[in-house]
Chain A
Amino acid sequence: MERDKNFVLGVYEDEDVLLEAVSKVRESGVKIHEVYSPFPVHGLDEALGYKRSKLPIAAFLFGLLGTILALTMQFYMMKFDWPMIIGGKDHAAFPDFIPVTFELTVLLAAFGMVGVFMISSNLKPWGQPRIFDLRITDDKHVMAIDLATNASLGEGKIAEVLKSSGATEVNKKSFE
């Protein structure tokens, strides 16, 4: 069977039931494709065994870049390219450069991180997501199980596991 085409979906109504279901389903040997929710469920990523996001590192690196750029720009312009004495201070009046340095640090950190987030999560205005169930942006949590990766188990067994874990409905969904 081809991967990423045919899914069994478990529909959950309550986030705490969902959290326990994720552990139960994983324990029974079923591999979860992904869980879709209308709101961020606290601890779900841990339950699914996802690694922590590396976005903070991106933010730090972009922020560092902003600091370096801002300081280089200001020292170059004010000290080397066209030195002027302003307010009786040194050409390179370092305390005066701190506000702009701070702002550019934050600007690059924020935009850099959001950019990485957009790319890594495939968010773009022309993005066409696969919708497993329209209610996942409304009031239901949906656990999607790929039939191909769980071929050894068979559809009936998966449905049974989902039901016993607290799913209120079990549906099938196929994509072209």
Chain B
Amino acid sequence: MQVTSSVREPLITGGKTLKDVTHDISRQVEGKPSMAWLLALLVSVGVLVLGGLALVATLWEGIGMWGLNKTIGWAWDITNFVWWVGIGHAGTLISAVLLLFRQKWRMAINRAAEAMTIFAVICAAMFPIIHMGRPWLGAYWALPLPNTFGSLWVNFNSPLLWDVFAISTYFSVSLVFWYIGLIPDFATIRDRATGIRKAIYGALAFGWDGAAKTWSRYESVALILAGLATPLVLSVHTIVSFDFATSVIPGWHTTIFPPYFVAGAIFSGFAMVLTLMIITRKVFKLEDYITIVHIELMNIVIIITGSIVGIAYITEFFIAWYSGVAAEQYAFVNRAFGPYWWAYWSMMTCNVISPQLFWIKKIRTSIVATFILSIVVNIGMWFERFVIIVTSLHRDFLPSSWAMFSPTWSDIGVYLFTFGLFFTLFLLFAKFFPVINMAEVKSIVKSSSEKVNK
């Protein structure tokens, strides 16, 4: 028997019954697509096609199309890659870590957050693949396959190769985790449907029967997957940070990178979840399930992770001074006061200062403020990666090689393409899949919903 303390705010409002849960969430899967949805899809596909042109041009002409130069060999591509991967951390964090910590509020948001994770990782993976120049040969460079040179294997000492393993493992395990969670809900839709839809959702439901035995195994699987996904999610951004930190570039080589990147990833991921959920709850009328309490708790996670990131910034600065290494000191002074000062201060404002506004209860329980700040945080996190990558590279060891970076239309177009891809996928998901985990929410209806006098 679950007991809930009276000091806890209800997680489900409006006196919902189990039947209401089924109805409210299945409704948008079964109904005709709304005009708003169609319009949004149209815009997303439009961006996808437009950005796709830039992508095709880049593949056709080669990555010389990008604004890279001899000094700055990595810029927008890897900035975008790290940004998307970071966003792709919230889903697994919400479902795995919050499951282990038994935070019940995760239940209403984990489905959409995981979907977002999967799509964000797809977008992220685009960049290394495109950067291969000839991606159709990429498998030889990225996977340990026997090849025409006898057996010149991939380099297992390279963090870039670790990335290949980390991202693909993360993607596939997240996908499985997400799908396992979807199965019971597909069965719900199957049992409400008729005709062709019944056949489709029946196949998606994998013959789910809801037996206690199956549920027992299902819970066991979910718990172990959560246990596996927790270190996995840490490892992914850790390994992404290794791409930089294993080098000897001032500004890149710093030991705090692994946990600091992870905190930053959670930070940006939660921000993106908020952006998406605030729209979704409104459009699909799910305010009783994704309540202001959920939004407030997510904002608190944003304060915590934002502050951790802030502490890491200060630590880096301090240790650069403390180390006495001239190159390291220069790298940090140059970040703040060099030619890219605007990027640095945008990052500081968006990531460290703006989330502190959430200490004020009025702001963290305001939907409009949360929506705006969630976008601000994601802009800040993009700048963080840009600052780390471009400002550390643009001052080469040889002053004669010092350079600046400016993006070309191809850089921008490929980035737009991933936006189109992300939103297209998310919209399709939101329409055809249940956006809230019905089974899990039902399990807390009794203990965590607003008590209604009957």
A and B touch in the complex (CB under 8 A): yes
A-side residues, CB < 8 A to B, are: 14-16, 19, 34-42, 44-45, 48, 50, 52-53, 55-56, 59, 73-74, 77-78, 81-82, 84, 86-87, 89, 93, 96-97, 99-100, 102-104, 106-107, 109-111, 113-114, 117-118, 120-131, 134, 136-139
Could you give 18 example pairs across A and B, Cβ below 8 Å? Answer: A36-B211, A36-B212, A39-B215, A39-B438, A44-B215, A44-B216, A45-B212, A55-B221, A81-B153, A86-B155, A106-B173, A106-B228, A111-B172, A114-B176, A114-B225, A134-B191, A134-B192, A138-B188
* Pair count A-B, CB < 8 A: 197
Q: Which residues of A contact B151 (CB under 8 A)?
A: 77, 81-82
Q: Judge whether B221 and A96 touch: CB under 8 Å.
A: no
Closest to B150 in A: A82
> Distance (Å) between the CB of A163 and the closest chain B CB?
21
The answer, yes or no, to whether B349 is at the interface (CB within 8 Å) is no
Q: Judge whether A48 and B212 touch: CB under 8 Å.
A: yes
A42-B2, A128-B207 known; A97+B215 contact, CB < 8 A:
no
Q: Judge whether A99 and B165 touch: CB under 8 Å.
A: yes
Q: Judge whether B212 and A44 touch: CB under 8 Å.
A: yes
Which of B79-87, B231-239, B293-301, B366-374 interfaces with chain A? B231-239
- Once the chains are docked, how many angstroms separate the CA of A16 from the CA of B152? 62
Q: Judge whether A14 and B446 touch: CB under 8 Å.
A: yes
> Distance (Å) between the CB of B368 and the closest chain A CB?
34
Closest to A143 in B: B212
A73-B144, A114-B225 known; A137+B207 contact, CB < 8 A:
no
Which of B14-22, B109-117, B413-421 interfaces with chain A? B14-22
Q: Which residues of B contact A15 (CB under 8 A)?
A: 446
- Once the chains are docked, how many angstroms separate the CA of A89 from the CA of B155? 13
Q: Which residues of B contact A45 (CB under 8 A)?
A: 212-213, 215-216
Q: Which residues of B contact A59 (CB under 8 A)?
A: 224, 228
The B interface, classified by DSSP as helix, strand, loop or mixed, is helix
B-side residues, CB < 8 A to A, are: 1-2, 17-19, 21-22, 144, 150-153, 155-159, 161-162, 165-166, 169, 172-173, 176-177, 180, 183-184, 187-188, 190-192, 203-204, 206-221, 224-225, 228-229, 231-232, 235, 239, 242, 438-440, 442-443, 446
> Distance (Å) between the CB of A30 and the closest chain B CB?
16
Q: From B19, B159, B176, B219, give the contact of A40 (CB < 8 A).
A: B219
- Once the chains are docked, how many angstroms separate the CA of A131 from the CA of B205? 13
Closest to A86 in B: B157
Q: From A99, A107, A109, A129, give the contact of B172 (CB < 8 A).
A: A107
Closest to A48 in B: B212
Q: Judge whether B165 and A110 touch: CB under 8 Å.
A: no
- Once the chains are docked, how many angstroms separate the CA of A56 from the CA of B204? 25
Q: Judge whether B218 and A40 touch: CB under 8 Å.
A: yes
A99-B242, A103-B169 known; A53+B215 contact, CB < 8 A:
no
Q: Judge whether A89 and B157 touch: CB under 8 Å.
A: yes
Q: Judge whether A113 and B221 touch: CB under 8 Å.
A: yes
Q: Which of B144, B166, B211, B440 has the most CB of A within 10 A?
A: B211
**Top 5 A-B residue pairs of the complex, sorted by shortest distance between their CB atoms:** A127-B207, A139-B18, A45-B216, A129-B209, A77-B153
- Once the chains are docked, how many angstroms separate the CA of A103 from the CA of B374? 31
Closest to A13 in B: B18
- Once the chains are docked, how many angstroms separate the CA of A121 from the CA of B184? 13
Q: Which residues of A contact B158 (CB under 8 A)?
A: 86
- Once the chains are docked, how many angstroms separate the CA of A5 from the CA of B186? 26
> Distance (Å) between the CB of A136 and the closest chain B CB?
5
Q: From A100, A125, A131, A136, give the contact of B165 (CB < 8 A).
A: A100
Q: Which residues of A contact B161 (CB under 8 A)?
A: 100
Q: Judge whether B19 and A34 touch: CB under 8 Å.
A: no
> Distance (Å) between the CB of A59 and the closest chain B CB?
5
Q: Judge whether B176 and A55 touch: CB under 8 Å.
A: no
Q: Which residues of A contact B1 (CB under 8 A)?
A: 16, 19
Q: Which residues of A contact B155 (CB under 8 A)?
A: 84, 86
Closest to A95 in B: B157
- Once the chains are docked, how many angstroms separate the CA of A49 from the CA of B216? 12
- Once the chains are docked, how many angstroms separate the CA of A120 from the CA of B217? 9
Q: Judge whether A34 and B211 touch: CB under 8 Å.
A: yes
